[in-house]
Amino acid sequence: MCSVEGAKKLAAYQAVDNHIKSGYKIGIGSGSTVVYAVDRLAQRVENENINIICVPTSFQSRQLILKNNLTLSDLEVASQLDICIDGADEVDCNLNLIKGGGGCLLQEKIVASCSKELIVIADYTKNSSLLGQQYKKGIPIEVSPLAYVPIKKRLEQLYKGEAVLRMAVNKAGPVVTDNGNFVLDWKNFDQSLDWNKVNLDLIQWPGVIETGLFINMAKKAYFGMQDGSVKVQS
């Protein structure tokens, strides 16, 4: 029986071993599963002497790259990446994703969109048949601080459910993203919504910076499973 942490590590290690080649420019996602991917990248740089360049998707992943002595870059220098490896909060059977549980959705989507392929690494709890069913914390939507109330009201009126302003753990104030914005977590929505249409609609609303709906972006997902195997979905 494999723990959730063990499953994250299995998925991350296998994805890095299968996809990363010397010379690659790599987008480094954010979250706890990506920690294992960076760990494996550092091992491969040390043991195989591969040469890679890493572009972070958050302050957290920038710190990870630096801590592991990997070569740090950015989209100004490396605007076309070979691959992006990132976690997800939910992955459906068509490889559509909910992301942004860690509040890094904007940079994650930008970096993924600059990559030839987005490879998802996750534990078995993230695997879902219908997007929006599995992840109970809601779909993250990054918004401009001055627009969070009108966007919350518009979202609840048009699409139902509840959009909750994400608060810091100590409840002293809202979570502020790496980009200086707030996050609304949208829950209890109608499960039969067309997520592609919803995403295209929301990103046009003034004040919506980005949504955590990653539709038709991922190429493959690696899930570490409870039995110690890795399920690959493409």
Kindly tell me which of 39 and 154 has the beta carbon lying closer to ligand 5RP. Answer: 39
Interacting residues with ligand 5RP (CB under 6 A): 29-33, 86-89, 99-105, 108
Please, what is the minimum distance in Å from the beta carbon of residue 199 to ligand 5RP?
15
Residue of 108, 117, 142, 162 with catalytic role = 108
- How far is CA 198 from each of CA 32, 72, 131, 152, rounded to the nearest angstrom? 28, 35, 13, 14
Please, what is the minimum distance in Å from the beta carbon of residue 6 to ligand 5RP?
14
Work out the angle between the directed axes of helices 4-19 and 32-48 (0-180°, nearest 10).
Answer: 40
The number of CA neighbours under 13 Å toward the Cβ of 179 is 19
Kindly tell me which of 156 and 178 has the beta carbon lying closer to ligand 5RP. Answer: 178
Kindly tell me which of 154 and 179 has the beta carbon lying closer to ligand 5RP. Answer: 179
Please, what is the minimum distance in Å from the beta carbon of residue 214 to ligand 5RP?
9
Burial of 62-94, coded b for 16+ CB within 10 Å and e otherwise, reads: bebbeebebeebeeeebeebbbbbbbbbbbbee
Q: Which spans in 137-214 are helix H?
A: 148-159, 195-202
* Catalytic annotation present for 162: no
Kindly tell me which of 105 and 208 has the beta carbon lying closer to ligand 5RP. Answer: 105
Chain mean position to CA 136: 16
Please, what is the minimum distance in Å from the beta carbon of residue 86 to ligand 5RP?
5
> Which residues are known catalytic residues?
108
